[in-house]
Amino acid sequence: MGRLFGTDGVRGLANVELTPELALSVASAAAQVLAEKDRSHRPVAVVGRDPRASGEMLEAAVAAGLASAGADVLCAGVLPTPAVAHLVADLGADLGVMISASHNPMPDNGVKLFAEGGHKLPDAVEDAVEARLDAPRTRPTGAEVGRVRELKDAGERYLRHLLVAGLHGSPVASLAGLRVVVDCANGAASTLAPEAYRRAGAEVIAINAEPDGLNINEGCGSTHLDVVAGAVRTHGADLGIAHDGDADRCLAVDASGAPVDGDQIMAVLALALRESGELRADTLVATVMSNLGLHLAMNQAGITVRTTAVGDRYVLAELRAGGYTLGGEQSGHVVLPGHATTGDGLLTALRLMARMASTGRGLAELAGVVEVLPQVLHNVRVADKAAVADAPEVREAVAKAEAELGDHGRVLLRPSGTEQLVRVMVEAPTSEEADRVATALAAVVASTP
């Protein structure tokens, strides 16, 4: 059996791979492990979920698992993932559980865990939780059994935090004058995102903000930017914001409907933070998948880009290790550690709009600082991803491609974290050149025994 925890918690087809029994066991084990370091008080857990139908079932199982381990449970209801992380810190809770499969289709679901302070669990702690799943234990009884209560002001607590953090350091106190379309993906931010942007002063047109438990991420949200782009053009909006199912992502489109990805958003925020003196060590943290255009733009601006492996947990680890103030991924996970412990799509959107309001510049102009190089990605199925990626003929082919592209392009080969695939990514000045180099390199990978 492989490791239970993936790059973002435990995830799978709800009621088949991620069963109520497994959710109960994971929650119980997490409460035991995280409570062990401080036995002076009864542990408290915050539980939230996105609106997919299976979340109701899994929320009940998670609450039962936590209470059976002696933890008091505060059920926050339907909330974005970053809201749960914030509430764990804000309430001084011992752990948090978010039930969501993020941008995955509705039948999937997941369990994400947060330690005190709202931080994602390190690998070692996840391993300890997994090891505890089947371990014998003495269950609490009587008054020691945990209690389950509703956290009625969860959304309002998070909104108050957003309105302070979202305009922090900005010369403007309001987003008045901005018209924004927000695609909520029929997900966890369907109520809170439009409300946050309205309270900040923007004129808001909300789409895909009517979750019914079955329509989350269905042809909408951050994985379908054409939807928000069309609405922006229809309504003559200044920009569009697209979230995913649990709203830890933010992607955007400009007034013409052209996409603005996470790399461009990070560039806009990095320049704003440096201008306000908040960009620690003039450094941005990104992953190896970030476009070369981001590196070139930041280099020209005198900003260092530190790169990590793919996955927001690695970005977060680097941010914490260096005390940096901004990091994220091309996919739209952007982290501002001074105000959030994980990617927060709503906070990112507020910061992006605040930059537009304070400069009086459109999003196309602001994002134009990054000239996005065409990027081609091939997923090549192989028998042994580690052996193939390290084969001499593959290394030789990579070196040849890098020499051909020089300083004007980039090659990245990396084994998939979950499948027997080698991902071949090439960036080049033109789509044709990127496709030609990537196709040739993928063929070498595919033919390597």
Annotated binding site for Mg(2+): 102, 244, 246, 248
Residue from 86, 98, 115 nearest 188 by CA: 98
Asked whether 216 and 52 are in contact (CB, 8 A), the reply is yes
Rounded Cα–Cα distance for residues 381 and 384 (Å): 9
Task: Return phi, psi of residue 72, to 5°.
Answer: -80, 140
Binding residues: 102, 244, 246, 248
Q: For 79-97, b where at least 16 C-beta lie within 10 A, e where not — what string?
A: bbbbbbbbbbbbbebbbbb
Specify the 3-state DSSP secondary structure of 2.
coil
Task: Return phi, psi of residue 341, to 5°.
Answer: -100, 0
- Residue 319: count of CB within 10 angstroms of its CB: 24
Rounded Cα–Cα distance for residues 330 and 425 (Å): 14
Catalytic residue (choose from 25, 68, 102, 290): 102
Tokens of 56: 């109701």
Asked whether 428 and 437 are in contact (CB, 8 A), the reply is yes
Tokens of 268: 């806009």
Residue holding tokens 């996955």? Answer: 311
Q: Is 102 a catalytic residue?
A: yes
Residue holding tokens 């990626």? Answer: 389
Rounded Cα–Cα distance for residues 173 and 274 (Å): 19
Question: Active-site residues: which are they?
Answer: 102
